[in-house]
Amino acid sequence: MKVNINAEDQILVIFGASGDLTYRKLIPAVFDLHMQGLLPDNFAVLGVSRSEMSDEDFRTRMSQGIKEFALFKEADDKTLHEFIQCLYYISINTKESNDYGILSNKLVELDKAHNTKGNYIFYLSVPPSLYKMIPGFLSEQGLTKNGQSFRRLIVEKPFGSDLESARDLNKFLLDNFEEDQIYRIDHYLGKETVQNVLVTRFANSIYEPLWNRNFIHHVEITAAENIGVGSRGGYYEDSGALRDMLQNHLLQLVALIAMEPPTVINATSIRNEKLKIFQSLRPLKENELFKNVIRGQYGAANVRGEYQKGYREEQGVDPNSRTETFVALKLFIDNWRWGGVPFYLRTGKRLPTRVTEIVIHFKPTPHQLFIENKEFCTDGNILVIRIQPDEGILLKTGMKIPGSGYNVKNINMDFHYKDLQETYVPSAYERLLLDCMIGDATLYARGDSVEEAWEFVQPILDFWKNNSDAPLYQYPCGTWGPDVADTLIEEKHLTWRYPCKNLADDGIYCEL
Ligand code: BG6
């Protein structure tokens, strides 16, 4: 099957090619694109890293990654063998300017062999300390300017570690590339269900008239993980949940939920609307930070018979660490649509289950006729947009129980993506790589909005840094974070939704 997606012939250059991301995500995603006939006719991948490896070693290793992680992992050996012939590898010291001559020569050689016409994507799958160095050296080699050929740069997260470093990185990159050449990855935007937020809102006429402060009481966004930090303790110590998940993934979800309809579906229009949301986030004042931002850290516990280490016992973690593995906060968007509607965000590791979802809580009816009903929750309808797992959408609505009187009960109207049996759901990296190949930056974060998101988060970082006594609550592994997070929601009768593995279930007691 060959679909016309207009990707020009090109070379994908991956820095950090011996790393985990290349093995588990990037090359499997490229292979999945190949299997669907979505790669350009003339295409090659050049892996670049410090480790010594021949093309053959690289191909063998990537074949293993494909067999383990590609969605088309069952492909036959012949197909796989044919595909890996387009993979090449060079070993250079990426911190050494002179070594970039080797890269430049190799690209010329590959262009000749594959007729790729000097079009290159440079993918930085390397530690953030190299995010300036590598583009700087590419620039010295004259490899960063668009001309007859295109040059694009993909930058992995984290994009900066605070407002100042994000500004500095943006400035540096913009000295060497144009904004439309820079693709800042937020892999949440590549998730099919995240993109479905826009379709749910703007392809249906029933939601949008209700999508505002007149009908919505509050919005809840949860990104829970049941894993701990595993072997990433070293990285996580300097990051924490706020930088690792909230500044990027969760705020991106807020923007998609809250933005105005774009005039057209393209990168400029959508990203302009998202930017306005980031600009409208009400800055958190110092006196609110105690109350409206809760941080926690997981402590050891036995979870379903298995001992789970506390964060401070994890490899690479300071035994006295004050890094947060959980953060919950309340924010407001100061604009006409959302004035006064609280948005509650929470994310954490070692929570009871892995789930990401957005919950829209509609206001209750103005006059409650069925209030006597014990089974009927009168708090208002809720719409759950489930990002993962059991991807889908669920509306809780009141329904009459057959029989005499007016007994009402909450029922679920739910759609699960898995019911679309024939539909292939691409991985986030597959979608994002393809978009970059065709020059579509819609699902990538623009520099101005990344800075705005940092601007919102910076007072929290400063507050924690300058107030060593700012509370850090411990929560046992396998729980929903510190109890105190419940107090963010001021109305006593309301709580967070406690989601389960299955979209339609909730409550503390359910299958996790
Ligand atoms: C990454 C974070 O960006 O997102 C990880 O660095 C986190 O700490 C991951 O585990 C979660 O992504 P997903 O797609 O599994 O929800």
CA 497–ligand 1 middle distance (angstroms): 21
In the three-class reduction of DSSP (H, G, I as helix; E, B as strand; rest coil), residue 338 is classed as coil
Structure tokens at 222: 């949860």
Average confidence (pLDDT) over 235-241: 95
CA atoms of 30 and 70, how far apart (whole Å): 9
| Residue 50 CB neighbours (<10 A) | 16
Give the residue, by CA position, lying nearest to ligand 1 atom 15.
225
Candidate of 187, 236, 239, 358 to mutate for ligand 1, largest count of ligand atoms within 8 Å of Cβ: 187
CA 170–ligand 1 middle distance (angstroms): 23
Whether 114 is catalytic:
no
Average confidence (pLDDT) over 73-102: 95
Q: What angle do CA 171, 177, 183 make, to 5 degrees?
A: 90
In the three-class reduction of DSSP (H, G, I as helix; E, B as strand; rest coil), residue 183 is classed as strand
422 versus 207: the higher-pLDDT residue is: 207
Give the residue, by CA position, lying nearest to ligand 1 atom 9.
245
User: How many Cα atoms sit within 13 Å of 487 on the Cβ side?
Assistant: 9
- Nearest Cα to Cα of residue 432 among 447, 416, 443: 443
pLDDT digits (tens, 9 = 90+) for 143-164: 999 889 999 999 999 999 999 9
- Nearest Cα to Cα of residue 460 among 329, 335, 340: 329
pLDDT of residue 3: 47
pLDDT of residue 376: 55
Q: What angle do CA 123, 125, 127 make, to 5 degrees?
A: 135
225 lines ligand 1 (CB under 6 A): yes
| Residue 36 CB neighbours (<10 A) | 17
Confidence of residue 508 (pLDDT cuts 50, 70, 90): low
Give the residue, by CA position, lying nearest to ligand 1 atom 14.
188
Residue 225, amino acid: E
pTM: 0.94
Average confidence (pLDDT) over 243-250: 97
Give the residue, by CA position, lying nearest to ligand 1 atom 8.
244
pLDDT digits (tens, 9 = 90+) for 265-293: 999 999 999 999 999 999 999 888 989 99
Structure tokens at 162: 């605070």
Largest CA distance in the chain: 85
| Residue 484 CB neighbours (<10 A) | 14
Candidate of 192, 244, 317 to mutate for ligand 1, largest count of ligand atoms within 8 Å of Cβ: 244
Residue 479 has pLDDT above 50, yes or no: yes
451 lines ligand 1 (CB under 6 A): no
pLDDT of residue 2: 44
Confidence of residue 304 (pLDDT cuts 50, 70, 90): confident
Residue 509 has pLDDT above 90, yes or no: no
Q: Using an 8 Å Cβ cutoff, are 361 and 378 in contact?
A: no
CA 21–ligand 1 middle distance (angstroms): 12
244 lines ligand 1 (CB under 6 A): yes
Give the residue, by CA position, lying nearest to ligand 1 atom 6.
244
CA atoms of 136 and 250, how far apart (whole Å): 31
Residue 141 has pLDDT above 60, yes or no: yes
Residue of 217, 249, 361, 493 with catalytic role:
249
Report all structural domains of the chain as residue ranges with CATH numbers, in order of start. Answer: 10-156 (3.40.50.720), 189-488 (3.30.360.10)
CA 353–ligand 1 middle distance (angstroms): 14
Average confidence (pLDDT) over 294-298: 98
User: Residue length, the chain?
Assistant: 512
Which uninterrupted H or E stretch holds 360? strand 355-362
* DSSP secondary structure letter of residue 499: B
Atom of ligand 1 nearest to the CA of 227: 10
435 lines ligand 1 (CB under 6 A): no
pLDDT of residue 205: 94
pLDDT digits (tens, 9 = 90+) for 165-189: 999 999 999 999 999 999 999 999 9
CA 481–ligand 1 middle distance (angstroms): 18
User: How many Cα atoms sit within 13 Å of 219 on the Cβ side?
Assistant: 25
pLDDT digits (tens, 9 = 90+) for 328-380: 999 999 999 999 999 999 999 999 999 999 999 999 888 888 766 555 556 78
Residue 325, amino acid: T
Q: What angle do CA 361, 364, 365 make, to 5 degrees?
A: 140
The residues, any chain, with a CB within 8 Å of residue 17's CB and separated by 6 or more, are 47, 48, 49, 58, 89, 125
Atom of ligand 1 nearest to the CA of 388: 16
Residue 232, amino acid: R
Q: Which of 71-80, 257-266, 408-417 has the lowest mean pLDDT?
A: 408-417
Confidence of residue 511 (pLDDT cuts 50, 70, 90): low
pLDDT of residue 286: 87
CA 102–ligand 1 middle distance (angstroms): 34
